[in-house]
């Protein structure tokens, strides 16, 4: 049974924490992009901003739940991680935002001078964010593997087309899909 006090504290601060967390996520992008991500709410015109906004909200709910649900975390993380996996950023930068919620919450609770009473809440959400980071790493690696497989197939097909165009071959034998990943 969920702790009523825990849920009351989380719900009273949720919007503030999510806003700060989203700001932290956005800091990994250039200023012009951040402005566009924030100001353009249409998900078709701004799919990255929409994925980040929706993902942070969904992930917060997963982290604030009574127990960690890996499948729900994966669902919340997937759109954000897919975007960040294809961008030119280091893995630590692509995934580091996940655990930033801990410091945001700790700073807010400490400033409210009730840190002693609410330390368990920060620890619980922090533990969930650590687990979410591991889930995100799995997703990130799956996405990277997929990208590299697509690049290898594209390179293979490009070479094949070039060889055919220059009449160096008329047909390449099919390659076993297991060889390509």
Kindly state the DSSP code that residue 30 receives in the 8-state scheme.
Answer: -
Q: Write down the pTM of the prediction.
A: 0.80
What integer pLDDT is reported at residue 9 of this predicted model?
78
Q: What's the burial of 135, exposed, middle or buried (CB within 10 Å: 0-12/13-18/19+)?
A: buried
Length of the chain: 181
Interval 130-157: pLDDT, tens: 999 999 999 999 999 999 999 999 999 9
Confidence band (pLDDT; 50, 70, 90) for 180?
low
Give the start-to-end residue ranges of the domains of the chain. Answer: 4-141
pLDDT tens profile 35-79:
999 889 899 999 999 999 999 999 999 999 989 999 999 999 999
Per-residue pLDDT tens for 19-34? 999 999 998 999 999 9
Q: How far apart (Å, rounded) are the C-alpha atoms in residues 123 and 116?
A: 12
Collect all residues with Cβ–Cβ distance below 8 Å to 7 and sequence separation of at least 6. Answer: none
From the list 118, 90, 111, the residue with the least C-alpha distance to 16 is: 111
Return the pLDDT at 57. 95
pLDDT category at 1 given cuts 50, 70, 90 is: very low
Contacts of 152-158 with CB under 8 Å at 24 or more apart are: 152/180, 152/181, 153/180, 156/180
How many C-beta atoms surround the C-beta of residue 159 within 10 A?
A: 11
């Amino acid at each position: 049974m969920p702790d009523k006090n825990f849920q009351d504290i989380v719900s009273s601060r949720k919007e503030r924490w999510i806003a700060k967390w989203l700001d932290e996520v956005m800091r990994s992008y250039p200023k012009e992009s951040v402005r566009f991500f924030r100001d353009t709410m249409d998900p078709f015109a701004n799919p990255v901003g929409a994925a980040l906004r929706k993902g942070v909200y969904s992930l917060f709910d997963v982290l604030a739940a009574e127990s960690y649900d890996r499948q729900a975390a994966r669902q919340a993380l997937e759109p954000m991680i897919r975007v960040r996996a294809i961008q030119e950023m280091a893995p630590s930068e692509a995934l580091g935002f996940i655990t930033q919620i801990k410091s945001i919450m700790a700073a807010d609770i400490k400033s409210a001078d009730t840190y002693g009473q609410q330390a368990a809440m920060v620890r619980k959400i922090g533990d969930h964010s650590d687990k979410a980071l591991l889930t995100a790493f799995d997703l990130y690696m799956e996405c990277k593997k997929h990208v590299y497989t697509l690049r290898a197939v594209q390179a293979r097909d490009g070479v094949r087309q070039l060889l055919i165009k220059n009449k160096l071959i008329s047909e390449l034998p099919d390659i076993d899909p297991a060889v390509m990943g």
